[in-house]
Structure 1
Amino acid sequence: MLQRLLLNRKGIATAILPNNAIAAVRFLCSADFSREVEKMVENGDNRVTRVLFCGPHFPASQNYTREYLQNYPFIQVDDVPLGDVPNSISNYHICVVKNQRLDSEVISRATQMKLIMQYGVGLEGVNVEAATRSGIKVARIPGNVSGNAASCAELAIYLMLGLLRKQKEIEIAVKQKRLGEPVGETLLGKTVFIMGFGNIGIDLAKRLRPFGVKILATKRSWASDLPVSCQPNEIKTQSDTIDDLVDKKGGPEDIFDFAGEADIVVACLALNTETAGIVNHKFLSSMRQGALLVNIARGGLLDYRAVLSHLASGHLGGLGIDVAWSEPFDPDDPILKFQNVLITPHIAGVTEYSYRTMSQVVGDVALQLHAGIPLTGIEFVN
């Protein structure tokens, strides 16, 4: 079997099977990369490439990246409080934004910056035009090769099942020593509307199929085939075509009709000017009485007042969210007082697999930038 080489954190080439997505991405320059990094280590390179992680949240991102780069003293990884980023950003060559907002004023201070990237896919907080004017590249880590999309899809199912089986009522029943209640529901036979059929939506549809559900999905434009997935142990269907995953396809104009057909709506859209607040009073009113809403994308997709109103009226049968309107979410928010609301602290993509994989991407990008060779494993948006 053919093998591909991937530089590990000790500078030694490690054999990786071809179905490993990261090995596939990095193989393009792995031989030159290995020689260049080994040369830098041997020569005791005095130059330092500095990587800035913004803020204290999602701590595994900087911790795993430091661990991956621990044997490369010429790469410095720092995490800086959000309020200190504007005054510190001029010292860094790479910025991993996390949930920091980088506007034109902050970007203008990034005088040494070569790359702004996300530890994942969401770049809505970055002024890409300002970065482009400053000669700074902006990139994301593709979710379909990092494990992020798969992790998000799994959490979506976790939230669906938690709502269907009435997780909060279960916890009360345990405390009160009651057996055989509450009576929950199954995913079997349900209709699920995936709003936004990108990498997460595709992975979600693959994982939902075995539950015996009907799947509706919308996206701006439909290609004839699915994107190629390189994930190890990927769930396979009988065919890799979208037609095998989706029972009904639609566009943005179909979201209200699809919402009216679905038992569960899952928001998987990117947040932009067109999608902000898309789940509003009109959308929620178009949903079936008692239907469930799950959001694993961005909190800004949901109109807060509309969601609160439809929970209070009982029209919305349950809400499962991993993202909120402002984060960290206020634990005293009125929405959390409803028994049919589940919230997780923005952990959809935070798994050992996806975070270890993304730390390798960030680490290798830092090494590539330091070596002055093309950057691989990331998707540029400018």
Structure 2
Amino acid sequence: MDVGSDKDITRVLFCGLHFTASQNYTREYLQNYPFIQVDDVPLDAVPDVIKNYHICVIKNMRLDSNVISHANQMKLLLQFGVGLEGVDVDAATKHGIKVARIPGDATGNAVSCAEMAIYLMLGLLRKQKEIQISIEEKMLGEPVGETILGKTVFIMGFGNIGIELAKRLRPFGVKIIATKRRWSSNSEVPLQSNANGITDDLVDEKGSHEDLHRFASNADIVVCCLTLNKETAGIVNKSFISSMRKGALLVNIARGGLLDYEAVAQHLQSGHLGGLGIDVAWTEPFDPSDPILKFNNVLITPHVAGVTEHSYRSMAKIVGDVALQIHAGSTQLTGIEFVN
């Protein structure tokens, strides 16, 4: 990789080789702007080269104070998406570096994640792994699945993804309950019109973090849409899963660290947990030989909930536009959400 010495070049570093569409689509968007250089390097190479770059697109990199201290030309640390739990924001602030995320509601990322949650729900309800076994064994009419109709779905963390999920679940004929840290008194949830033009709330019952176990005990399906932080890490633990209905399904399209691995494995083994659908795992990439994947009622996808043509091209455009703004010397960057 040649970072060159031309001071008229604005250099963008993508951390890590996973999620390759992020850098590929950004390069494609910027192909007519030769003064913007886009590179990607393996995660272990980032500390050695970060000093050469003006913008760092984080992805799944852990940027601690030591790495950040070497970024002496850095103007912006930007997540290709929403989660910033791997960034030492205080250290970045100390070094005069702005930190930002790309809002999911503006790019289609939230919509893409909501669709993945429904995919995992339906896959568990219709017993996707057992279907494959029936195909291999040339069996017809097995397994007997379940409908989502009539189920109670608990959306745990009613943010952008939760809102989009609720919109898409409504036509399935489900009851939707949801929690968030606080509900605005002016507009508690977005409204939508049904076929008759009557406006209804998206959520049938609203609660806060104090209601987590009560809501879990009333749900057939729990969907984790929470942000991962020190308060939510491991929040789906033994106590939480024990409070769920026997046979209920658990879906996680947010961050793997929200779930306690041992608690999940134990409740799958006992049969209390009726199924697990995850797009994010405790360690990524996830070990394909991990014993948790041997259960027929476990479905896993490789962190692709937000990886769609629509969302990734939208986010690549934002990264490209921000790079052009920084190159032009603008201090009022648009399209991103700052956290410091």
TM-score range, shorter chain: over 0.9
The correspondence for 1:258, drawn from 201, 215, 239, is: 215
Which residue does 1:380 correspond to in 2? 338
- Structure 1: stretches of 5+ with no match in the other structure: 1-44, 229-234
For the 8 Å contact 1:226–1:240, the answer to whether it is kept is no
Structure 1 Cα separation of the partners of residues 300 and 58 of structure 2: 23
Q: CA deviation at 1:240?
A: 11
Q: CA deviation at 1:225?
A: 1.9
Structure 2 Cα separation of the partners of residues 126 and 240 of structure 1: 44
Which residue does 2:262 correspond to in 1? 305
Which residue does 1:66 correspond to in 2? 27
Of residues 325-334 and 46-55 in structure 1, the stretch that sits farther from structure 2 once superposed is 46-55
Q: Percent identity?
A: 76
Indicate yes or no: 2:301 matched with 1:350. no
Which residue does 1:190 correspond to in 2? 151
Structure 2 Cα separation of the partners of residues 237 and 340 of structure 1: 36
For the 8 Å contact 1:267–1:294, the answer to whether it is kept is yes
Indicate yes or no: 2:36 matched with 1:75. yes
Counterparts of residues 1-382 of structure 1 (less than 5 Å):
47-223=8-184, 224-225=186-187, 236-238=192-194, 244-373=201-330, 374-382=332-340
For the 8 Å contact 2:192–2:202, the answer to whether it is kept is no
TM-score, normalising length from structure 2?
0.95
Structure 2 Cα separation of the partners of residues 237 and 251 of structure 1: 26
Aligned length: 331
Q: 3-state SS of the aligned residue for 1:178? A: coil
For the 8 Å contact 2:189–2:202, the answer to whether it is kept is no
- Cα deviation, 1:65-100, whole Å, max 9, x if unaligned, reads 000000100000000110000011000000000000
Structure 2 Cα separation of the partners of residues 97 and 181 of structure 1: 45
For the 8 Å contact 2:192–2:201, the answer to whether it is kept is no
Structure 2 Cα separation of the partners of residues 159 and 54 of structure 1: 29
Q: CA deviation at 1:174?
A: 0.8
**Structure 1 residues 94 and 227, CA, compared in 2 at 3 Å: closer, same or farther?**
farther
Q: 3-state SS of the aligned residue for 1:348? A: coil
Amino acid at match of 2:248: A
Q: 3-state SS of the aligned residue for 1:125? A: coil
For the 8 Å contact 2:23–2:40, the answer to whether it is kept is yes
- Cα deviation, 1:212-264, whole Å, max 9, x if unaligned, reads 00001000010132688xxxxxx9544898x6100100000000000000000
Q: 3-state SS of the aligned residue for 1:200? A: helix
Amino acid at match of 2:105: N
Which residue does 2:3 correspond to in 1? none
Q: 3-state SS of the aligned residue for 1:210? A: helix
- Structure 2: stretches of 5+ with no match in the other structure: 1-5
- Cα deviation, 1:93-133, whole Å, max 9, x if unaligned, reads 00000000000000000000000010000000000010001
Structure 1 Cα separation of the partners of residues 262 and 160 of structure 2: 29
Instruction: Let me know the Cα RMSD of the aligned residues.
Output: 1.6
Amino acid at match of 2:226: L
Amino acid at match of 1:221: R
Q: Give runs of ≥4 in structure 1 deviating > 3 Å.
A: 235-241
Structure 2 Cα separation of the partners of residues 368 and 143 of structure 1: 21
TM-score, normalising length from structure 1?
0.85
